[in-house]
Amino acid sequence: MAESDSIVGENKEELTTDLKEYEVQFFGFTPKSFIDGVHNALVDYLNDSVEVTEKFLLSEAEAKSEEVTPEFVREASDRLFSHFLKTFDKAFDRLETYLKKNLFHIPSNVLLPEDAVHWQDYNAKDDAKLDTELEKLRQQIKCSQYVNARLRQWLQEAEVAQAQLDAFLLQINQLHQIVNKSKISDLNESIVFTAAKVRKLKDQLSLVMQQNLIDTQVQLDQPSSKS
């Protein structure tokens, strides 16, 4: 029983919280905070009026030279304020009930513009339209994922190519440094001259290898001395 009462209490608290949030959206403030503000302001006015009355009585007693002490006037004004406050609270309670019931009551047929979407009725056609839009979004997401994957692959390939280019440029710079240290005036002529020498050496090596091959073949073709 205690557990069910606790659940009911929690549900009431949630409903109260939801109602307050809706009231703030509708009025711009909670009726409770507005009414409390009016109550506090009126109590302040009542207290100010009692203080003014107290000062007036003291000034009148002093003008007429009557023996009235400030403590006596203060005690009387406190009793007067308590009487006024008790009467005022009873009247204000009735005013609060009236305001909540008639002025700050949100009718059941009133709906905020941002909540109007909840009144729309959806049918099978609307569901099919939503499904079609969702499928289009899924396809767009897949295409975006594919494009992103290709872009990442191209970026990796570009990074590899950039690394190779940087290495090649480094070799070119090193070659230039070697040329400068060797005091070679014309790099193109040096490269052509070196290439020609390499080709000449290659041709000479080929001739030597061919001659060695011929000599070896001749020796294999000659009969041995034993025969």
**Spatial contact of 39 and 116, defined as CB atoms under 8 Å apart:** no
Residue 21, domain extent: 2-120
pLDDT value for 137:
93
pLDDT value for 105:
78
Same domain, 116 and 16: yes
pLDDT value for 94:
92
pLDDT value for 224:
47
Same domain, 6 and 106: yes
pLDDT value for 24:
77
| Residue 183 CB neighbour total at 10 angstroms | 6
Let me know if residue 227 belongs to a domain: no
pLDDT value for 227:
43
Residues of the chain with pLDDT below 50 are: 1-4, 6-9, 15, 224-227
d(CA 88, CA 94): 10
For the entire predicted model, the pTM comes to 0.41
Same domain, 95 and 128: no
Helix pair angle (31-63, 2-27), 10° resolution: 80
Same domain, 12 and 87: yes
- Amino acid, res. 62: E
